[in-house]
Amino acid sequence: MTNSLVRVENLKKYFPVKLGLFEGWYFNPLPKRKKLYVKAIDGVSFEINRGDTFALVGESGCGKTTTGRTIVGLYRKTGGEIYFKGRPVDTVLKENPGDFRRNVQMIFQDPYSSLNPRMKVYQLISEPMRVHKLVKDRKEERERVAELMKNVGLEPEYMTRYPHQFSGGQRQRIAIARALATEPEFIVADEPISALDVSIRAQILNLMEDLQEKYGLTYLFIAHDLSVVRHISNKTAVMYLGRIVEMGDTDEIFENPLHPYTKTLFESIPSVDKVKQPLKVTIEGEVPSPINPPPGCPFHPRCPFATDRCKKERPELVEVAPGHKVACFLY
Ligand SMILES: Nc1ncnc2c1ncn2[C@@H]1O[C@H](COP(=O)(O)OP(=O)(O)OP(=O)(O)O)[C@@H](O)[C@H]1O
Ligand SMILES: [Mg+2]
């Protein structure tokens, strides 16, 4: 049996740009306008092994959520391939859609909007069990809900309450229990703590770690800054404008970041002892638009080390040390 649980190969997701009602023809009556696309993910490849916590980090808009949503099947991919346990997801979905949907779950950033406010905790957690026919009767269902609530640190006696009667952290615990209800092997957690109070973030991270061990889970953990992923992930991939620019063991990425963009991400981590940190690599400018990405290396307009080659040629992700890949001509 292979150790690989999820593998994506040259994954692409383009969104057509929606033009205003009249833009398309009235003010621009050209017979054939070139269709515009947001290249939210543009050729991403990585592998997640069983038991991994694979972190995907990068600035807002770089394509992290799109990657997660495309893998779990909420978005249809534009190109490339996704493999689950070594088999293309398209095939798996054709043969046994229920099994894939049960096995792969997602936790969202905002526990305020991801839970139906009209459902009680009991319904929220038991619904997926019923959909996937995982319980034989009402008694077993009740026991499973109570057990899951205990395992995520909630009192089972609160199962008759509504989400609004809980705090943000407790609501995220409900969302986690709901995701666990189908006994998944793989969970995509899309910034699961960034909407929460700073004081309770560590608790939710610790809970996720405990649950990983208890249930043998594999995580794709999405975060926009590196500080969050250091302790929870064993692998880290850094995304920029729809591509992975650096990837490797988390320890290696933290001790020896190579890509100029990764270095800037480290410098934006606030440190506790120094209020202001001098920036070693200063980046200027905005993230370019994924509708019309710059030619060459997507980071070159902001990179202090960019050369002429970077403006013309696109660096491929190459292995520079065992397991450590970087897409930069400097290496
Ligand atoms: N449903 C959609 N339709 C059109 N464009 C989209 C859609 N979803 C995302 N995009 C665009 O794709 C790009 C990547 O977005 P995505 O939400 O994946 O980024 P992200 O890395 O998750 O950002 P954030 O840190 O803000 O959550 C952005 O330019 C975004 O505007
Ligand atoms: Mg996002």
The neighbouring-strand residues paired with 221 are: 55, 189
What pLDDT does residue 274 have?
40
When pLDDT is averaged across residues 51-55 and rounded to a whole number, the result is: 97
Structural domains in the chain, sorted by start: 4-326 (3.40.50.300)
pLDDT computed for residue 277 by the predictor = 42
Q: At residue 275, does pLDDT exceed 50?
A: no
Q: How confident is the model at residue 291 (pLDDT cuts 50, 70, 90)?
A: confident
Q: Where is mean pLDDT largest: 120-134, 257-271, 277-291?
A: 120-134
Mean pLDDT of the chain: 89
Percent of the chain surpassing pLDDT 70: 88
CA angle 39, 76, 316 (to 5 degrees): 40
- Point out the ligand nearest to the CA of residue 189: 2
Do residues 320 and 245 make contact, with C-beta atoms less than 8 angstroms apart? no
Provide the pLDDT confidence category of residue 289 given band limits of 50, 70 and 90. Answer: confident
Instruction: Yes or no: say if 266 and 244 are a contact pair by the CB < 8 Å rule.
Output: no
Which pLDDT band holds residue 32 (cuts at 50, 70, 90)? low
Two structure tokens written together for 57? 């980090």
Q: Among residues 159, 203, 200, which one has the least CA distance to residue 177?
A: 159
Rounded CA-CA distance 237/243 in Å is: 10
Residues 130-156 have a mean pLDDT of 95
> Burial of 220 by CB count in 10 Å (0-12 exposed, 13-18 middle, 19+ buried)?
buried
Query: Do residues 88 and 82 make contact, with C-beta atoms less than 8 angstroms apart?
Result: yes
- Atom 12 of ligand 1: nearest residue by CA position: 40
pLDDT of residue 114: 85
Q: Is the pLDDT of residue 316 over 70?
A: yes
Query: Residue 273: its pLDDT value, please?
Result: 44
Cβ contacts of residue 247 below 8 Å, gap of 6+? Answer: 46, 235, 236, 237, 238, 253, 317, 324, 325, 326
Which comes out higher in pLDDT, residue 28 or 259?
259
pLDDT at 156: 96
Q: Which pLDDT score, from 0 to 100, does residue 34 have?
A: 63
Higher confidence at residue 29 or residue 247? 247
How do residues 293-313 score in pLDDT, each as one tens digit? 778 999 999 999 999 999 999
What's the 143 CA to ligand 2 centre distance in angstroms? 35
59-111 residue pLDDT tens: 999 999 999 999 999 999 999 999 999 999 999 999 998 999 999 999 998 87
* C-alpha 306 to ligand 1 mean position (Å): 26
Binding-site residues, ligand 1, Cβ < 6 A:
15, 38, 40, 58, 60-66, 224, 290
222 CA from centroid of ligand 1 (Å): 13
Encode the chain in three state secondary structure. Answer: CCCEEEEEEEEEEEEECCCCCCCCCCCCCCCCCCCCEEEEEEEEEEEEECCCEEEEECCCCCCHHHHHHHHHCCCCCCEEEEEECCEEHHHHHHHCHHHHHHHEEEECCCCCCCCCCCCCHHHHHHHHHHHCCCCCCHHHHHHHHHHHHHHCCCCHHHHHCCHHHCCHHHHHHHHHHHHHCCCCCEEEEECCCCCCCHHHHHHHHHHHHHHHHHHCCEEEEEECCHHHCCCCCCEEEEEECCEEEEEEEHHHHHHCCCCHHHHHHHHCCCCCCCCCCCCCCCCCCCCCCCCCCCCCCCCHHHCCCCCHHHHHCCCCCEEEECCEEECCCCC
pLDDT band at 113 (very low <50, low <70, confident <90, very high): confident
**Smallest CA separation from ligand 1 atom 1, residue:** 15
Mean per-residue pLDDT, 244-252: 96
Query: Other C-beta atoms within 10 Å of 286: how many?
Result: 9
Give the pLDDT score at 286: 65
